[in-house]
């Protein structure tokens, strides 16, 4: 039986659109869901045919004992489904505003622990560089293996040691297939599970897909790496690996090999003589400098991407995921921070509404939101600043925004995730670590910059530049209007909502008034004719007077019927 036969796995599934092309993989996804006890989910999504195919898939047998917790079973299913679903779980673990805490805990356990790609496949991908003689001594054992790629040590022809990052063969096709399936599942969730539709799963999957596909393109990471290299070119305390662009492409990244102790290796760092408290603070300062000064920050500062070298010096690795904050966004974040410190809920609410996207059709109730922000600030900031967990505070603020159908842009979500990671690393090295205290000098510095003469001169210069652009474009924009005025073709069309209903009401009133005037005229005229006793007569009554009264009666009864029918008294 082929896939297109009436009883095949595609039966009844053409509604799945793009995923129709990947029914083999779609059935595998369904089989894993069945294996971990999610038959009910497939039924609720209307995938009865897929459920039947998944149950019949050879080799899929439920384990003898499934974990009782649904959240743990979801995590296990994601791990079995591979790269895209693992990374989807990792992405969801940062959405504490939308995901229940039990799922956040489980998704936080997801790791990119995968088997390395066979060395023969790696050699085949690098055959051009190796044949040119520019790359020698490629070591078979990878230094690291992750879901997207793996890193091998090697040397250049002049003896310099490098790290070669290679994207897994066939990964791009696999990722695009799973992203399409994930998108179709999200659409079905929105259609069949209204309780989850408010989280906008389709939009979340689209955002996640853009980030993941960008991560697959190593040329983007190369550009990011070079940009960070420029930022820290004169800073001896931060090490950014040098990149060899002539050897790089979208699947291969060749960079200087950097070694050091992992940032969370408290025992190793202590044994090497580092001051853990100062190191925790220094690591956080590096991240805050990126956020507040550069507006371009490392989006995944986990321990494997932060190494400590003698000095101490921090080496940053893996620039596939970065965040960007323009000056305007940073100024709004500054306004929000200052408003929270000064306990001004109106200022905080005003800044928050500038940052978020409104998901519903109607704008949020600003006064209610301001009351909610005030209550949040009293509950969160009504204790010594040292006791405030900044990461938790930011996530709680996201939860407040979500209640009013407000969502943060992806870069701000990435910012919160990065700060939570940095705060966690800080606590690992120093139980007394205070991220808010680290942030204070950066906030004060940016606040002072705002009132400096140089800042105002720059803003004035930017305004002049905008005015210059406007004045240069204005003649061209006004030219069509001038031609229409000269030719007499200029006209203005007004469209006023509700005018049709008003016109119809006025028309009905005019008709009724006209009939009322006719009725009055008939009554008065008929009375005059009868009083004048004008012949011809019928039973001693003038015929014209009787006809007039009869017509008046007809008009009067019609008006009465119209009033009663339309309930207008």
Q: pLDDT for 188-201, tens place per residue?
A: 888 888 877 777 78
44-58, 101-115, 141-155: which has the minimum mean pLDDT? Answer: 44-58
Cβ pair 202, 186 in contact under 8 A: yes
For residue 490, what pLDDT band results from cuts at 50, 70 and 90? low
Contacts of 354 (CB under 8 A, 6+ apart): 332
- The mean pLDDT of 465-488, rounded to a whole number, is 74
Taking only the tens place, the pLDDT of each residue in 554-564 is 777 776 667 66
pLDDT of 70 reads: 86
pLDDT at 63 over 60: no
pLDDT at 297 over 90: yes
pLDDT of 152 reads: 94
Cβ pair 450, 406 in contact under 8 A: no
364 membership: H or E segment, kind and range = none
Of the residues 97, 178, 265, 300, which is catalytic? 300
Q: Could you tell me how far CA 215 lies from the centroid of its own chain? A: 17
Angle at 308 between CA 106 and CA 313, to 5 degrees: 135
pLDDT of 368 reads: 86
pLDDT at 487 over 80: no
Closest CA to 316 of 247, 412, 237: 237
Token pair for residue 127?
Answer: 């055959």
SS3 356: coil
Taking only the tens place, the pLDDT of each residue in 124-181 is 989 888 888 899 999 999 988 888 889 999 999 999 999 999 998 888 888 999 999 8
Round to whole Å and give the CA distance between 100 and 123.
44
Token pair for residue 242?
Answer: 């040098």
pLDDT at 327 over 80: yes
pLDDT of 190 reads: 85
Round to whole Å and give the CA distance between 15 and 317.
43
Contacts of 180 (CB under 8 A, 6+ apart): 18, 19, 21, 22
- Look at 251 and 502; give whichever has higher pLDDT: 251
184-198, 366-380, 546-560: which has the minimum mean pLDDT? Answer: 546-560
216-220, 330-334, 539-543: which has the minimum mean pLDDT? Answer: 539-543
Instruction: Give bridge partners of residue 162 from the DSSP assignment.
Output: 154, 256
Pairing between β-strand 261-262 and β-strand 306-309 as defined by DSSP bridges: antiparallel
Round to whole Å and give the CA distance between 217 and 209.
13
The CA dihedral of 431, 432, 436, 442, to the nearest 10 degrees, is: -100
pLDDT at 3 over 70: no
Residue 234: phi, psi to the nearest 5? -105, 10
Round to whole Å and give the CA distance between 263 and 318.
14
Cβ pair 142, 152 in contact under 8 A: yes
Round to whole Å and give the CA distance between 506 and 512.
10
SS3 155: strand
Angle at 297 between CA 295 and CA 302, to 5 degrees: 160
Round to whole Å and give the CA distance between 407 and 206.
15
DSSP secondary structure of 263-286: TT-HHHHHHTT--HHHHHHHHHHH
DSSP 115: P
- The 10 Å Cβ neighbour count of residue 325 is 22
SS3 465: helix
- The 10 Å Cβ neighbour count of residue 190 is 17
Round to whole Å and give the CA distance between 485 and 71.
68
300 is catalytic: yes
Token pair for residue 81?
Answer: 């489904």
């Amino acid at each position: 039986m082929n896939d297109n036969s009436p009883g095949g796995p595609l039966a009844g599934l053409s509604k799945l659109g793009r995923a129709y092309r990947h029914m083999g993989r779609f059935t595998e996804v369904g089989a894993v869901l069945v294996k971990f006890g999610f038959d009910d989910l497939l039924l609720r999504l209307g995938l009865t045919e897929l459920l039947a195919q998944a149950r019949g898939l050879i080799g899929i047998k439920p384990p003898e004992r499934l974990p009782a917790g649904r959240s743990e079973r979801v995590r296990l299913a994601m791990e079995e489904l591979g790269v895209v679903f693992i990374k989807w779980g990792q992405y969801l673990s940062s959405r504490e505003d939308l995901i229940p805490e039990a799922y956040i805990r489980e998704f936080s356990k997801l790791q990119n622990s995968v088997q390395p790609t066979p060395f023969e496949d790696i050699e085949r991908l690098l055959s051009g560089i190796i044949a040119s003689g520019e790359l020698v001594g490629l070591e078979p054992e990878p230094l690291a293996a992750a879901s997207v790629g793996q890193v091998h040590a090697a040397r250049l022809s002049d003896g310099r040691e490098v790290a070669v990052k290679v994207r897994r063969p066939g990964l791009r096709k696999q990722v695009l297939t799973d992203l399409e399936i994930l998108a179709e599942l999200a659409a079905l969730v929105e259609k069949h599970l209204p309780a989850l539709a408010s989280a906008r799963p389709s939009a979340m999957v689209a955002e996640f897909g853009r980030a993941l596909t960008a991560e697959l393109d190593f040329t983007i990471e190369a550009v990011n790496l070079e940009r960070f290299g420029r930022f820290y070119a004169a800073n001896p305390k931060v090490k950014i690996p040098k990149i060899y662009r002539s050897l790089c492409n979208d699947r291969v990244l060749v960079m200087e090999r950097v070694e050091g102790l992992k940032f969370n290796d408290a025992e190793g760092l202590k044994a090497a003589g580092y001051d853990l408290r100062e190191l925790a603070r220094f690591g956080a300062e590096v991240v805050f400098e990126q956020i507040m000064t550069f507006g371009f920050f490392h989006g995944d500062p986990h321990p494997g991407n932060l190494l400590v070298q003698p000095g101490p010096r921090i080496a940053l690795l893996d620039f596939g995921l970065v965040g960007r904050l323009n000056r305007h966004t940073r100024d709004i974040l500054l306004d929000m921070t200052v408003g929270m410190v000064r306990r001004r809920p109106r200022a905080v609410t005003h800044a928050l509404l500038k940052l978020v996207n409104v998901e519903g059709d109607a704008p949020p109730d600003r006064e209610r939101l301001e009351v909610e922000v005030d209550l949040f600030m009293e509950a969160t900031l009504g204790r010594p600043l040292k006791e405030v967990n900044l990461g938790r505070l930011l996530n709680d603020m996201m939860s407040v925004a979500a209640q009013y159908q407000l969502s943060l842009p992806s870069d701000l979500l990435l910012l919160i995730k990065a700060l939570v990671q940095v705060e966690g690393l800080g606590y690992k090295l120093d139980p007394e670590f205070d991220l808010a205290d680290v942030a204070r000098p950066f906030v004060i510095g940016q606040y002072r910059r705002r009132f400096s003469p140089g800042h105002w001169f720059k803003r004035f210069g930017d305004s002049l530049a905008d005015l210059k652009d406007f004045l240069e474009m204005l003649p061209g924009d006004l030219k069509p209007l001038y031609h229409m005025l000269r030719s007499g073709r200029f006209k203005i069309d007004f469209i006023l909502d509700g005018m049709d209903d008003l016109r119809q009401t006025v028309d009905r009133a005019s008709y009724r008034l006209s009939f009322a005037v006719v009725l009055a005229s008939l009554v008065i005229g008929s009375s005059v004719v009868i009083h004048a006793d004008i012949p011809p007569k019928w039973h001693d009554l003038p015929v014209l007077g009787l006809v007039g009264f009869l017509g008046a009666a007809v008009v009067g009864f019609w008006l009465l019927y119209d009033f009663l029918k339309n309930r207008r008294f």
